Amino acid sequence: MDDAVHAGPRVVRVRVATWNINSVRSRIDRVVAWIERSDVDVVALQETKSRDEQFPYDRFADLGYEVAHHGHSQWNGVAIASRVGLADVTTGFPGQPLWGEPLADEARALGATCGGVRFWSVYVPHGREVGDPHYAYKLDWLSCLRDAGQAWLETDADRQIALMGDWNIAPRDDDVWDMAAFDGATHVSQPERDAFAAFEPTGFTDVVRRYAPGPGVYTYWDYQRLCFAKKRGMRLDFVLASPALAARVTGALIDREERKGNRPSDHVPVVVELA
Residue 1 lies in a domain: no
Helices marked H in the chain: 3-6, 28-38, 57-61, 133-155, 190-197, 243-246
Taking the C-alpha atoms of residue 220 and residue 228, their distance in angstroms, rounded to an integer, is: 9
**Residue 69: which domain range?**
11-274
Residue 3 lies in a domain: no
Contact 185, 176 (CB under 8 A): no
Residue 106 lies in a domain: yes
- The pTM for the full model equals 0.94
Residue 99, SS3?
strand
Confidence bin at 37 (pLDDT 50/70/90): very high
Confidence bin at 13 (pLDDT 50/70/90): confident
Residues 6+ apart with CB under 8 A from 138: 124, 125, 126, 127, 168, 186, 192
State pLDDT tens for residues 82-137: 999 999 999 999 999 999 999 999 999 999 999 999 999 999 999 999 999 999 99
Taking the C-alpha atoms of residue 174 and residue 159, their distance in angstroms, rounded to an integer, is: 32
Residue 5 lies in a domain: no
Cα separations in angstroms, 207 against 46, 85, 137, 199:
19, 23, 26, 13
- Residue 214: count other Cβ atoms within 10 Å of its Cβ: 14
DSSP letter at 46 equals E
CATH number at residue 116: 3.60.10.10
Contact 19, 46 (CB under 8 A): yes
Question: Given this model, what pLDDT does residue 7 score?
Answer: 46
Mean residue pLDDT of the chain comes to 95
- Residue 275: count other Cβ atoms within 10 Å of its Cβ: 11
Residue 6 lies in a domain: no
Taking the C-alpha atoms of residue 231 and residue 228, their distance in angstroms, rounded to an integer, is: 5
Residue 64 lies in a domain: yes
Taking the C-alpha atoms of residue 107 and residue 109, their distance in angstroms, rounded to an integer, is: 6
Identify residue 155 by its one-letter amino acid code. Answer: T
State pLDDT tens for residues 44-58: 999 999 999 999 999
Domains: count for the chain: 1
Average pLDDT in the 66-71 region? 98
Residue 88 lies in a domain: yes
Confidence bin at 12 (pLDDT 50/70/90): low
- Residue 123: count other Cβ atoms within 10 Å of its Cβ: 26
Kindly tell me if the per-residue pLDDT of 5 is higher than 70.
no
Residue 2 lies in a domain: no
Question: Given this model, what pLDDT does residue 73 score?
Answer: 86
Q: In this structure, is the dihedral angle defined by the CA atoms of residues 182, 186, 190 and 195, taken in order, positive or negative?
A: negative
